[in-house]
Chains A and B, each alone.
Chain A
């Protein structure tokens, strides 16, 4: 019994020490990657970031900065392949699936119109896995917005609205984060896409009370008809790059 306890203790200590070693290794790799990014040496940066993410797959910052570096290097396939491999190795990491989905999204503006559809569909599958593993604000918000990009004929906007409503429920009781304004903008757009202009305006107004200086909400509330349509549709143009940088999640978290 005592022997058993001792061996368990040793094993636990070993795991903890291994984790610490890996985390410190990932920190060191991250630091090297930051240096390489400063020198615009994206190939080196990607290599170090891959190493850092492999050691710390749930690190949102590493994964996000890796994808931004891949965008700079226009090496979209590398990013997709990296997260594909990591997702097979770490199938229970919501962060990996979220960023795998974003890796597909990052490639969309550089792809042909049919490939765009395939990439968007693949991204949606990964966002769904992320929601299933961790039903938090970022995962609901991301999948909700992803649904809204689909053309009307696929009737996916109602799913987007449902996800964004859940994201709103999650964000309401907690601290007010600057990025929470996005939910109000996106949910209103979702209502507009499901032909419910009244609810769209109501949620934009509610958002403006929380975030009185937000230009996107102001513009939507000031516009109607074709002008409003143009504003909303401009935000869902697959030819334009979607900002998938998640730095707001760790920077300036309170507004």
Chain B
């Protein structure tokens, strides 16, 4: 006799009641999440609101230069005193303005200690601060500070006691360059990070130019810019210019540099974002030289490259690249989201993924703001937000003039109080499983309309939720605290090299959880006008368990770690026993 299935009615009723309440709770919770912004503007509360001032020039071309030099609002994140809390260095640009070193007090407040530390002076009549970079040039474990300038850069050595010493002259870096960006990575894997400068104007004194012909010669393929300068780290506190020797030949109007290992061969490759023309892609040959693979990798573009950040947005184990350009009513360039095809070629998928149009883009950074395991993108934008009148017709008049010499600054119209791509809303692109991005900026409180420049991503309170520091030209910055309420899991690593460079720049971490392997890596300052944390962060979503962690160090060493517990920052030193991994304990 067949047993008859009899429903347990009482049980079903109980389930129905409790289930309904669970659903109802989940619904309310979801509604609360939707109502709440996940980023809170804490700029003033944190004491980090000093505004940026653009340099005003005092030369015959000053009024014209005003329209093209609204730059210099930059930020770099680094834990300079190794207390376990990330600090921020912020540049200002007017001739009497001081730069800021914001020491993190550990409670989401900051104190400007630039004067005491000896790093406040970055501006004078002959130099204007344009960028900054923390990098440990002498492998002593303390990040040193490079102030990138139109003029001469400054290298401050971190003495490890909260003070810095200007070692520019001794280092061999004391030369005139109109640099706007620098990144550091160990291109020859000799254990010391090298320096790559991105220069906008050619190296003429733009404060007192001897010729009016120092503007871009073309809007689409200008080759009279400053290009890239490479300095090899001699391991003794000095650097040597090896630009020619390593095979980097570009004289574009470089605005940003980004490095990453495109083909996973253990050597860092280089993307150069150039304004007024062709971006460049250099493949590291593994023998201390690079090959220009622009044509085969990305093709020759005529756009206005502003940003180059690398990240594996589709979790396929290959690093992709995000580049911002100008996309507005009058110029529809579109950004590049270069999907890595795995054979040193890239395909632009910006249209398909919804990341094409961000206005006049500047920094665009990959980061996982909701800890769901997919890298999201935050992009700031806007050139000049001035009066109601548009500068576009003035430019149009110039470019349609037959035979006009663009390189002659005198032919460019002054911008006055007009606007050009101003008052643009920032974009927070939420990654929808690696296929599409959806703009959540307004919902999450990140849609400001200031003229944004740099984005520094870091976890300032060590809670596993990535926060943002945003610089704005001629304006106050924003410090956005991530108050994500979902409880999604995460894990993070601070790596220290021994055979590799001390900051482990270039180290890759592959973490497996929930059947998915994620690739993240330590970058040495990618992204326009900003440097994010050198820590490696993984969002894990619902995963409460990690299955595997593998680190590939720049030295070539591969180490497998015992799966750590989720929701902690860990510190790990190269070549130490895997069991020595320790939870990162801030000193305060």
A residues with a Cβ closer than 8 A to B are: 111-115, 117-118, 121, 151-154, 237-239
B517 within 8 A of A: no
Contact B332 A238 (CB under 8 A): yes
B329 within 8 A of A: yes
Q: In the complex, which residues of chain B have a beta carbon less than 8 angstroms from the beta carbon of A118?
A: 399-400
Contact A117 B396 (CB under 8 A): yes
Contact B399 A114 (CB under 8 A): yes
Question: Which residues of B from 278 to 334 have beta carbons under 8 Å from A?
Answer: 302-303, 326, 328-334
B304 to A: closest C-beta gap in Å: 8
A175 to B: closest C-beta gap in Å: 38
Q: In the complex, which residues of chain B have a beta carbon less than 8 angstroms from the beta carbon of A153?
A: 329-330, 390, 392-393
Of chain A, the residue at the smallest CB distance from B351 is A239
Query: How many A-B contacts if CB must be within 8 Å?
Result: 49
Contact A112 B393 (CB under 8 A): no
B219 within 8 A of A: yes
B220 within 8 A of A: yes
Of chain A, the residue at the smallest CB distance from B333 is A113
Interface size (B, Cβ < 8 Å)? Answer: 19
Residue in A111, A113, A238 with the greatest tally of chain B CB atoms within 10 Å: A113
With A and B bound together, what is the CA distance between A83 and B221 in angstroms? 26
**Other 12 A-B pairs with CB < 8 A, given A112-B302, A115-B302:** A111-B302, A112-B219, A113-B220, A113-B303, A113-B326, A113-B333, A117-B400, A118-B399, A151-B329, A153-B392, A154-B392, A239-B334
Contact A151 B330 (CB under 8 A): yes
Residue in A114, A152, A238 with the greatest tally of chain B CB atoms within 10 Å: A114
Contact flags (1/0) for B202-237 with A, using CB distance below 8 Å?
Answer: 000000000000000001110000000000000000
With A and B bound together, what is the CA distance between A154 and B331 in angstroms? 13
Q: In the complex, which residues of chain B have a beta carbon less than 8 angstroms from the beta carbon of A117?
A: 330-331, 396, 399-400
Contact B332 A154 (CB under 8 A): no
With A and B bound together, what is the CA distance between A183 and B226 in angstroms? 50
With A and B bound together, what is the CA distance between A71 and B518 in angstroms? 45
**Given known contacts A118-B399, A118-B400, is B390 in contact with A113 (CB within 8 Å)?**
no
Contact B329 A112 (CB under 8 A): no
With A and B bound together, what is the CA distance between A152 and B330 in angstroms? 8
Q: In the complex, which residues of chain A have a beta carbon less than 8 angstroms from the beta carbon of B393?
A: 153-154
B403 to A: closest C-beta gap in Å: 12
With A and B bound together, what is the CA distance between A121 and B330 in angstroms? 13
Q: In the complex, which residues of chain A have a beta carbon less than 8 angstroms from the beta carbon of B329?
A: 151-153
With A and B bound together, what is the CA distance between A236 and B334 in angstroms? 15
With A and B bound together, what is the CA distance between A153 and B331 in angstroms? 12
Contact A112 B220 (CB under 8 A): yes
Enumerate 7 A-B pairs (CB-CB under 8 Å) in ascending A order: A112-B302, A113-B220, A117-B330, A152-B329, A153-B392, A154-B396, A237-B332
